């Protein structure tokens, strides 16, 4: 009888020990898979290049003294980014919107206006509008949380 009790106790101890080891092993593997998953998504984001929406517009040099208004607005709580003209940041984008007269920056030739901004929440939408004499370009995006937009401007 004592031998069978010892046998049962040993069997219970072995089973309990193996189950604790199995639970620890499962938890460790689960945590490791979360870390790997996180690292994988981080490296994908870091290595991928942003997709840009691109538009082009031609402006008459005769209208350079007239206002050429760029407006960026969101339906969400805010924007955060940069407005770059020919490789130089001309304005930071903050708050719910920006309106800027680009006439002082315009000259005869080829130019590039780049908008790189995040908007919050991601489910919101962002509208970009560029207007001037005989020119009207608009773009809208939503549900990604990021706006990368290039407006190629030709002044002749």
- Summarised one tens digit per residue, pLDDT across range 99-123 is 999 999 999 999 999 999 999 999 9
The predicted structure's pLDDT at residue 34: 31
Exposure on the CB side of residue 71, measured as CA atoms within 13 A: 11
How many domains are contained in the chain?
Answer: 2
Distances (CA, A) of 100 to 37, 38, 46, 121: 42, 39, 31, 24
Of the candidates 59, 112, 107, 61, the one whose C-alpha atom is nearest the C-alpha of residue 85 is 112
The predicted structure's pLDDT at residue 64: 94
Tell me: do 41 and 63 sit in the same domain. Answer: no
Tell me: do 30 and 102 sit in the same domain. Answer: no
Residue 4 has pLDDT above 90, yes or no: no
Residue 33 has pLDDT above 70, yes or no: no
Tell me: do 83 and 131 sit in the same domain. Answer: yes
Query: Hey, is 69 helix, strand or coil?
Result: strand
Domain that holds residue 79: 53-155
Tell me: do 27 and 57 sit in the same domain. Answer: no
Tell me: do 126 and 67 sit in the same domain. Answer: yes
pTM score: 0.67
Q: Is 95 left (phi over 0), alpha (psi -120 to 50) or beta?
A: left
Tens digits of residue pLDDT in 43-100: 222 223 468 899 999 999 999 999 999 999 999 999 999 999 999 999 999 999 999 9
Residue with tokens 């208004």: 69
What is the β-pairing status of strands 69-74 and 125-132? antiparallel
Tell me: do 43 and 21 sit in the same domain. Answer: yes
């Amino acid at each position: 009888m004592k031998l069978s009790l010892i046998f049962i106790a040993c069997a219970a101890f072995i089973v309990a020990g193996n189950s604790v080891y199995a639970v620890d092993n499962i938890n460790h593997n689960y945590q490791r898979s979360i870390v790997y998953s996180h690292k994988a998504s981080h490296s994908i984001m870091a290595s991928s290049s942003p997709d840009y929406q691109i538009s082009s517009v031609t402006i008459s040099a005769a209208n350079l003294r007239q206002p050429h208004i760029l407006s960026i607005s969101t339906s969400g709580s805010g924007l955060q980014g940069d407005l770059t003209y020919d490789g130089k940041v001309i304005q930071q984008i903050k708050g719910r919107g920006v309106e800027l007269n680009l006439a002082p920056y315009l000259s005869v030739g080829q130019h590039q206006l780049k908008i790189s901004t995040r908007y919050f929440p991601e489910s919101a939408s962002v509208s970009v509008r560029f207007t001037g004499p005989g020119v009207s370009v608009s773009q809208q995006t939503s549900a990604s949380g990021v706006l990368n937009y290039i407006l190629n401007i030709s002044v002749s």
